[in-house]
Amino acid sequence: MKNVRVARRYAAALLADADQKNVIEAVAADLGTLGRLMHDSRELRHLVASRLVSAEKKLRVIHELFTSRFGKETLDFLHLLIDKQREALLPDIIGQYAVLLNEKLGIVTVDVTSAVEIAPLQEKAIHERLERYTQKKVKVRFSLDAGIKGGVVVRIGDTVLDASIKHQLELLRECLVGGTAL
């Protein structure tokens, strides 16, 4: 939890700096690219997290890999992290930047899980309904889980709207076992 708090502070500082310089979206794109590269490259993850690699070598590698790809603000931020020996927090910082950016832009991320593939027209209808429900712009992530048997499970932050067949069967079971009326 401590690392998330520290990562959030760094992400907030980066967002404030990017906002002041009108490069919020560019920094977000740079961090998204960096996050994908770190996810895909074990060597890059180890380089960033290793205490055995000197700061000078990390700076040199970062400079070689990203100078032509990233904006000045992102590169300066990476240098700051290395100088402060906080580069191991980079994955958390990337995640927190995305969360803070979405908050700033009034976007909420919603996870919709269904037992079967949802048709494009249904996806659009769900998207529109969720925007009315949250009264915000919605970024919907659809996923499949055959274990819910049918229906959908919607997660909006800490709120879970469970309209799955599995959940309905569990409620029915509890009523029957407990002897309560439906």
Are 58 and 48 in contact, with CB atoms under 8 Å apart? Answer: yes
Contacts for 169 with CB less than 8 Å, ≥ 6 apart: 149
Tell me the whole-structure pTM to 2 decimals. 0.74
Q: Which helix (H) or strand (E) holds 80?
A: helix 72-83
Q: Which residue in 82, 74, 84 sits closest to 47, CA to CA?
A: 82
pLDDT attached to residue 1: 56
Q: Which residue in 93, 16, 10, 18 sits closest to 48, CA to CA?
A: 93
* CATH 1.10.520.20 segments of the chain: 2-103
pLDDT attached to residue 13: 96
pLDDT attached to residue 97: 96
CA distance 180 to 175: 5
CA distance 104 to 149: 37
Q: Which residue in 141, 153, 144 sits closest to 116, CA to CA?
A: 144
Q: Does domain 108-178 have CATH number 3.30.910?
A: yes
pLDDT attached to residue 178: 77
The identity of residue 9, as a single letter, is: R
pLDDT attached to residue 175: 85
pLDDT attached to residue 182: 57
pLDDT attached to residue 173: 86
Q: Does domain 2-103 have CATH number 1.10.520.20?
A: yes
* CATH 3.30.910 segments of the chain: 108-178
Tens digits of pLDDT across the chain (182 residues): 568 899 999 999 999 999 999 999 999 999 999 999 999 999 988 888 888 889 999 999 999 999 999 999 999 999 999 999 999 899 999 999 999 999 999 999 999 999 899 999 999 999 999 999 999 999 999 999 988 888 889 999 888 988 888 888 888 888 888 766 55
